[in-house]
Structure 1
Amino acid sequence: MAQNKSVEELSYKEASIELEGIIRNLESGDLELEESLEGYTRGAELLKSLRARLAAAEQKVSVLMKDIDGGDTLVAGESADTTDGLSF
């Protein structure tokens, strides 16, 4: 599993693609225990980052949609709740 970049350095798309690859590898059952644990840990980091980025983007869109004056002014808002009961 290539982990050349930190999670923060990856674009959303890169992180998503890497997570998909990790999931495929874990589901295959062909990994050694150490590789599985490494993949699981990296996958959890990626998933947390992706959820946070998506929540931030959703909040920005929500704020823009609420601007009824037509000014499309982006103002600071609260982060969206990312607890969905899923665990990785």
Structure 2
Amino acid sequence: MTDASAQIAEMTFEDALKALEDIVRRLESGDATLDDSISLYEQGEKLRLHCQQRLDAAQARIERVVQGADGQPAGTQPFDAADR
């Protein structure tokens, strides 16, 4: 793992998202050279992947309350996005 990859792996979701937004702004400004743009894009892709992994992990931890026949909470079950 490179130093940059290790730093990204340690970032919170919020910090990684902010860094990704900064990269997008720099790329959209058109001020970066071609080589810098490529490097920024590569770093942005690593940040995007990190954010997606953090979101996937958070989603896997979400549980929803299951109601019994009487309308009272009867337990929990893992979150399933298909049930939305």
Higher relative contact order (CA closer than 8 Å, sequence separation 6+) = 1
Larger strand proportion of the pair = 2
TM-score normalised by length of structure 1: 0.66
User: Partners of 1:7 and 1:18 in 2: how far apart?
Assistant: 10
User: How many pairs are equivalent?
Assistant: 70
| Structure richer in helix, relative to its length | 2
Shift of 1:60: 1.0
Q: Work out the CA distance in 2 between the residues paired with 1:57 and 1:66.
A: 17
Counterpart CA distance in 2 for 1:66 and 1:54 is 20
Which structure 1 residue ranges, 5 or more long, are not aligned?
81-88
RMSD over aligned Cα atoms: 2.4
Percent identity, aligned pairs only, is 31
Q: Which stretches of structure 1, 4 residues or longer, exceed 6 Å deviation after superposition?
A: none
**Structure 1 residue corresponding to 2:74, chosen from 54, 69, 73:** 69
TM-score (norm 2): 0.69
For residues 40 and 48 of structure 2, the distance between their equivalents in structure 1, rounded to whole angstroms, comes to 12
Tell me which residue corresponds to 2:21.
Answer: 20
Paired with 1:7 and 1:49, the residues of 2 have a C-alpha distance of: 7
Q: Which amino acid aligns with 1:15?
A: A
Tell me the SS of whatever aligns to 1:65. strand
